[in-house]
Amino acid sequence: MASLSVIGAGYVGLTTAACMADLGHKVVCSDIDRDKISLLNHGQISIVEEGLAELVAKGRESGNLSFVVGAESEVDRAEIVFLCVPTPQRIDGSADMSYIVAAVSSIAPLLKPGCIVVNKSTVPVGSTTVVEATLSRGDILVVSNPEFLREGSAIYDFMHPDRIVIGSDDQGAAIRVASLYSKINAPLVTTDPSSAETIKYASNAFLATKLSFVNAIANLCEAVGADIRDVILGMGYDRRIGFEFLKPGPGWGGSCFPKDTQALVKIAEEGGYDFKLLKGVLSANNEHRDFVAKAICDMARVSSPGPAKVAVLGLTFKANTDDLRESPSIEIALKLAKENKKVVAYDPTITPKILGRLNQVVDQDMNGPAGSIQPELVRLIEAGVELSLDPYAVCDRAHVVAILTEWDEFRWYDYDKIGKSMASRAIFDGRNLLESANLKRLGFNYRGIGR
């Protein structure tokens, strides 16, 4: 069992640390965010991720998992260090490596000889060399081991991966990193670092392409009177296509797909290749969000030629996470507000504490630091979008209800009760969650995606 250091306790780092501890390794997870570490040391986690709180508790109890502020105090004991810090998108679309470089610079003099540094963060092709240069230590090897963790099922994905990818020019280092996963039964792809980094980008970009395609087919279905659900069924049985990642929606988002596809376009550009296909995938996604916002506005106009209220159900970029980064729902809510709709929104992850803190932040100073509040919420408030803790209250006097995240609870609401409180019965079901026949029976003007 190995002694590991995981730098960054975000969605990726915390999952990696907790799962590695569960596999029997001794893991110290660090973060520069004192509040995050303080919470973790009190047995609490600051993100919504199924099973993670329990796994963290199990790791702490077994003594395999502990948390510290800053990696410097503990990294000298590590045999292998995982970098799980953010690589946000810069204005030109490229990935910002400054967090990686800062983290690596701070640990470089402290690492013990023979230690391996693993890039888990999604980093541009060639970053292994950047980390090596920043380390400037001939006695330390750098390996690429990209993550394929979906928020909401990150632990499952870690423990049951479709594959484990390891990129290294040193066979011994690759074997040492691979052995950390020896209890996991999955195909192992060992390759050079640049190929491993490209695998990560190509996988996310391919999935994003699949989604832009299926959303376009959904729009086509509407135009020609076909039903996307049957079309997907007919396509998915073809094993070359499969059923996964074929659900149409209001567009794809999250902390990875948008930045990784943008970054791949940029990486290609720097390599002298104009990745027109991927540019099309990105613009199709933006246009699809416009298309959805317009469809909701059209429904609102039918319900009320004058001022209209839209109730937005769901703000996170998908269900089973509290992550609002690049959420299509947020973008669409902002577009609706720009079209002078009164927008009131509900999401199951918005708690009274978050709302209280948000009001405090907004009252104090609109431009001040938002602390633990996700900036997307501040953007909504600034645009005049109201947030509520009660989904039924959100729908009260609304002209359209727009479901934009696939939270399961939305299926089970009493839509007759909702209809009675609405100004007119209209539902835009951006995730095809509801049975249209039931809604129509209740007198709703119902519109889904591609049906």
Interface with ligand UDX, residue 119, by CB under 6 A: no
Interface with ligand UDX, residue 117, by CB under 6 A: no
Interface with ligand UDX, residue 49, by CB under 6 A: no
Cα separation, 5 vs 75, whole angstroms? 6
Minimum CB distance to ligand UDX, residue 30 (Å): 6
Interface with ligand UDX, residue 10, by CB under 6 A: yes
Cα separation, 312 vs 319, whole angstroms? 14
Interface with ligand UDX, residue 218, by CB under 6 A: no
Minimum CB distance to ligand UDX, residue 277 (Å): 18
Distance set, CA 228 to CA 81, 232, 237, 446 (Å): 46, 6, 14, 15
Cα separation, 92 vs 384, whole angstroms? 29
Cα separation, 216 vs 222, whole angstroms? 10
Query: If you write DSSP's letter for every residue of 254-301 in order, what string do you get?
Result: SSSHHHHHHHHHHHHHHTT---HHHHHHHHHHHHHHHHHHHHHHHHHH
Minimum CB distance to ligand UDX, residue 57 (Å): 19
Taking CB under 6 A as the criterion, the residue among 256, 295, 354, 398 binding ligand UDX is: 256
Strand-pair category, 426-429 with 400-403: parallel
Confirm if 386 and 401 have CB atoms less than 8 A apart. Answer: no
Residue 256 bears catalytic tag: yes
Please say whether the dihedral angle defined by the alpha carbons of residues 222, 226, 227 and 233, taken in this order, is positive or negative: negative
Confirm if 314 and 344 have CB atoms less than 8 A apart. Answer: no
Angle at 291 between CA 289 and CA 294, to 5 degrees: 110
Which of 236, 356 has the CB closer to ligand UDX?
Answer: 236
Draw the binding track, 170-209, toward ligand UDX (x: CB under 6 A; -: no contact). Answer: ----------------------------------x--x--
Taking CB under 6 A as the criterion, the residue among 246, 395, 403, 433 binding ligand UDX is: 246
Minimum CB distance to ligand UDX, residue 197 (Å): 11
Interface with ligand UDX, residue 9, by CB under 6 A: yes
Taking CB under 6 A as the criterion, the residue among 124, 249, 314, 348 binding ligand UDX is: 249
Binding window for ligand UDX (CB under 6 A); candidates: 37-45, 149-157, 163-171, 385-393: 149-157
Interface with ligand UDX, residue 8, by CB under 6 A: yes
Among 431, 8, 14, smallest CA distance to 253 is for 431
Which of 247, 309 has the CB closer to ligand UDX?
Answer: 247
Cα separation, 117 vs 64, whole angstroms? 20
Binding window for ligand UDX (CB under 6 A); candidates: 95-103, 231-239, 287-295, 370-378: 95-103
Taking CB under 6 A as the criterion, the residue among 176, 247, 288, 447 binding ligand UDX is: 247
Binding window for ligand UDX (CB under 6 A); candidates: 80-88, 109-117, 180-188, 394-402: 80-88
Taking CB under 6 A as the criterion, the residue among 39, 69, 96, 99 binding ligand UDX is: 99
Confirm if 50 and 56 have CB atoms less than 8 A apart. Answer: no
Interface with ligand UDX, residue 216, by CB under 6 A: no
3-state secondary structure of 38: helix
- Annotated active-site residue in 19, 29, 84, 256: 256
Applying CB under 6 A, the site for ligand UDX has a residue count of: 40
Which of 210, 301 has the CB closer to ligand UDX?
Answer: 210
Phi, psi values for residue 295, rounded to 5°: -60, -40
DSSP state letter for 253: -
Interface with ligand UDX, residue 430, by CB under 6 A: no
Distance of CA 414 to the CA centre of its chain: 30
Of residues 120 through 139, those in contact with ligand UDX by CB under 6 A are: 121-122
Q: For residue 17, how many C-alpha atoms fall within 13 Å in the half-sphere facing its CB?
A: 34
Minimum CB distance to ligand UDX, residue 214 (Å): 7
Q: Per the structure block, which two tokens stand in for 343? A: 């927008």
Q: Which residues are catalytically annotated?
A: 256
Q: Where along the sequence are the contacts to ligand UDX (CB under 6 A)?
A: 7-13, 31-33, 36, 84-87, 99, 102-103, 121-122, 147-151, 204, 207, 211, 245-247, 249, 252-257, 317-318
